[in-house]
Structure 1
Amino acid sequence: MPAIPKIPETLEEYQIIIKYLQSKTIPNDIQQDPTKKSNFIRHCKKFEVDENNFLYVKPIMKDGITLEKRCVIPKYDEEIRALILEHFHDQANHREYHKTFFAISEKHIGITQEEVRTYVNQCNTCIITTSIKKKTDMKNVISTAPCQHIQIDLIDFQDFAKVNNDFAWLLTCICVFSKFLIAVSMKNKEASTVATHLIKDVFKVFGPPMIIQSDNGKEFVARIITEICEALNITIRHGRPRHPQSQGQIERLNQTVGHGFTKLLWNQSNQLQRKDWINVIDMFVMSYNSTVHKAHGCTPHEAIFGWKMHCVYDTPDFSRTIATSETSTSKTITATSKITVFETTTSETITDKAAMEQCISHMLKIHQSINASLEKYREKLGCNNVHRKKMANNTIKTGTEVAIALDHNMNQQTHKRKLQPTFSERGVFKSLKSNNHTAIVEVNGKDVQIPVKRSYFHQDVAT
């Protein structure tokens, strides 16, 4: 992999590179120095410029595939940097910082991981919807191909049916191999309704899986579900009663869905939480399936189909003003990233059969890569299960702003609350009691004791 070129830090550096690429003009102060002149030319050749005077890092080859050229984001342009961060985080379902950074770095260069982390940690919507539940040890479920093994479950939204056209349930389905999400809204959870949506929204599109895994809800153990599985030669597995960890992937996905809906429905300007989840379900599913998954390093859509989803998060349109001449004449331009799927040297003459063979070969490479990544991820989870330690909360400095969950407790009722911010109060950390399990936080001028053991406060809020 070629080294990452140095990004222009000033407008002058940006203009000099563009001028050389367009007219081979070398700055006067280095024309007489062969070494500096050679270094300058070599540096400029790492870039290319489009018709709008926008810089890109040249595309490279990886595993026989031409990766997309990446748009250069200059360090001096704070406005465009803020616009990109907002586009890939705020408008993309408030993804975690590493997923936000991955999405940005696929098509842009110049924004650092630390810059993205700081932006996400300061996002108020993300702060108030952070989970307070702890991870538990997990048993790995192994699948080696797409749609062989799926897990299904229902999310209860009955409390919000009136504002969602009487839709009260959400059927969620995840492919264990690719992590691809299918979500279907339903007005009831009768077994016949579940069976109808499984056939129309899952089996008809992806084909019947080899294994379906669910809990012991009566809608999943009903005769109609059993008969359909027998007719389609599907093995159905049910988890242990009252043990949701048996189907941990779908249970964890349901948590992600709940947090995603809460973020999308949070009105930051009015500080109000909407409940009309039916209006954001499609947006959330598209965002989830087009976001890289940490288990295998691909997007679920790419893991299923072999190419990345074309969506608004991947093709941002933005305008900016840069000086294009020595007289500082301004010109407004628009840059749009473009999608590259496969490299074909003879795209005009390639036959359908050859194109199909190339597509199949590419997909096999992706599936092999995913299987290798999943194996490493399972090993990592095994190590984490053995060596998992609690985060050291006593590293918080006095005066640090924190978000806390005063109205949460550890009973099942508050754990099952939906479409509500978790960390509803803000305060200032003052001290940690001698037992290291209780923090003193100032909230609205009063000192409040917050149990550290239960992680009721969020320590990643930037001051």
Structure 2
Amino acid sequence: MKTSAPKPKSSDVSTMSSATKSYWAQWDSLLIQDGVLCRKWENVLGDSCHLQMVVPMAKVLDVLQLYHNGCSGGHLGVKRTLLKIRERFYCVHCRDDVEDWCRKCTSCAAVKGPQTRSRGALKLYNVGAPWERIAIDVAGPFLESESGNKYFMVVMDYFTTWPEVFVITNQEASTVANKLFYEVFCRFGVPLEINSDLQRNLESQIFQEICRVMGTHKTRTTSYHPQFDGMVERFNQTLERYLAKVVEKRQ
């Protein structure tokens, strides 16, 4: 392709490896850009196209390490890891490589473990618009960061399930209320309802007074029934799993 030669005949590649034959079959989709072999990739609808860098076999493990084990990778599953890689790179048998890599990842095996199926009878809570009803929860304490933060405040919208995560130094009612007002209310508007568990900071007089002034109805879960607010509790589980995979061995 560097010499702009025509496509080789099938007889010329019949004795070569399966990877070579695969690239030969995609000859019309390959091109050289800035000295790098790339592949034109179209989406399913065929209305957009972008270039993928063809990864040499010697660099495949580096890409997998970066996109799965790296801090920006988050040890995602096969499907999501494959989607992230395909946004920029291409190699033959990419799916097989990703499946093998995820299956052999010791961090994923140690943290995820077997999945248990919930047997509770779930009911739907109807919400009519984004940010009409939100859920709030405080997770922690975690190891203190260099900025002095030890807790995560998680806010999720019931309509879109969009999560917002904020780091806070403590879980006092004034700290939570201040972060909620400036980071959520000022950006998305004041919700009609706020749901939380029975944490004392979220049931304090300060927090209740803020809800009263803003015209927000405060609801709460029942004791020993975290599944009442399963959406945010499930997100906390996912967040803590990601943190457990990227934290240093000595914490």
TM-score by length of 1: 0.45
Any idea what the Cα deviations from partners look like across 1:32-89, whole Å, max 9, x if unmatched?
xxxxxxxx999533344423242222445849xx534141536xx3222212211211
Deviation at 1:224, TM superposition (A): 2.8
Q: Taking structure 1 as reference, are residues 258 and 164 closer, same or farther at Cα in structure 2, changes over 3 Å only? A: farther
The one of 199, 208, 212 aligned to 1:226: 208
Q: In structure 1, how many angstroms separate the alpha carbons of the residues matched to 2:58 and 2:31?
A: 23
Give the match for residue 201 of structure 1.
183
Q: Does 1:241 align with 2:220?
A: no
Q: In structure 2, how many angstroms separate the alpha carbons of the residues matched to 1:132 and 1:61?
A: 34
Q: In structure 1, how many angstroms separate the alpha carbons of the residues matched to 2:124 and 2:81?
A: 26
The one of 65, 82, 106 aligned to 2:87: 106
Q: Taking structure 1 as reference, are residues 179 and 44 closer, same or farther at Cα in structure 2, changes over 3 Å only? A: same
Q: In structure 2, how many angstroms separate the alpha carbons of the residues matched to 1:144 and 1:97?
A: 34
Gaps spanning 5+ residues in structure 1: where? 1-17, 32-39, 267-271, 275-463
Give the match for residue 44 of structure 1.
27
Q: Does 1:83 align with 2:62?
A: yes
Give the match for residue 446 of structure 1.
none
**The residue matched to 2:87 in structure 1 has which SS?**
helix
What code does the residue aligned with 1:126 have? C
* Contact preservation (8 Å) 2:193, 2:216: yes
Q: Taking structure 1 as reference, are residues 60 and 259 closer, same or farther at Cα in structure 2, changes over 3 Å only? A: closer
**The residue matched to 1:203 in structure 2 has which SS?**
helix
* Contact preservation (8 Å) 2:140, 2:150: yes
**The residue matched to 1:103 in structure 2 has which SS?**
helix
The one of 259, 278, 290 aligned to 2:241: 259
Which structure 2 residues correspond to residues 119-198 of structure 1 after superposition, within 5 A?
Answer: 119-131=101-113, 134-136=116-118, 137=120, 138-143=122-127, 145-157=129-141, 160-161=143-144, 166-198=148-180
Gaps spanning 5+ residues in structure 2: where? 13-22
What code does the residue aligned with 1:98 have? K
The one of 45, 69, 73 aligned to 2:50: 69
Q: Taking structure 1 as reference, are residues 211 and 168 closer, same or farther at Cα in structure 2, changes over 3 Å only? A: same
Any idea what the Cα deviations from partners look like across 1:201-230, whole Å, max 9, x if unmatched?
222223223332211222212233233333
The one of 192, 205, 216 aligned to 2:198: 216
Aligned length: 236
Deviation at 1:265, TM superposition (A): 0.8
Q: In structure 2, how many angstroms separate the alpha carbons of the residues matched to 1:238 and 1:95?
A: 32
Q: In structure 2, how many angstroms separate the alpha carbons of the residues matched to 1:51 and 1:189?
A: 52
Q: Taking structure 1 as reference, are residues 142 and 207 closer, same or farther at Cα in structure 2, changes over 3 Å only? A: same
Moved more, 214-223 or 173-182: 173-182
Deviation at 1:244, TM superposition (A): 0.4
The one of 40, 58, 63 aligned to 1:57: 40
* Contact preservation (8 Å) 1:70, 1:109: no
What code does the residue aligned with 2:112 have? T
Q: In structure 2, how many angstroms separate the alpha carbons of the residues matched to 1:199 and 1:142?
A: 25
The one of 25, 50, 54 aligned to 2:6: 25
Q: In structure 2, how many angstroms separate the alpha carbons of the residues matched to 1:131 and 1:224?
A: 41
Q: Taking structure 1 as reference, are residues 131 and 214 closer, same or farther at Cα in structure 2, changes over 3 Å only? A: farther
Q: Taking structure 1 as reference, are residues 127 and 41 closer, same or farther at Cα in structure 2, changes over 3 Å only? A: closer
What code does the residue aligned with 2:199 have? G
Deviation at 1:243, TM superposition (A): 0.6
Q: Taking structure 1 as reference, are residues 172 and 43 closer, same or farther at Cα in structure 2, changes over 3 Å only? A: closer
Q: Taking structure 1 as reference, are residues 242 and 72 closer, same or farther at Cα in structure 2, changes over 3 Å only? A: same
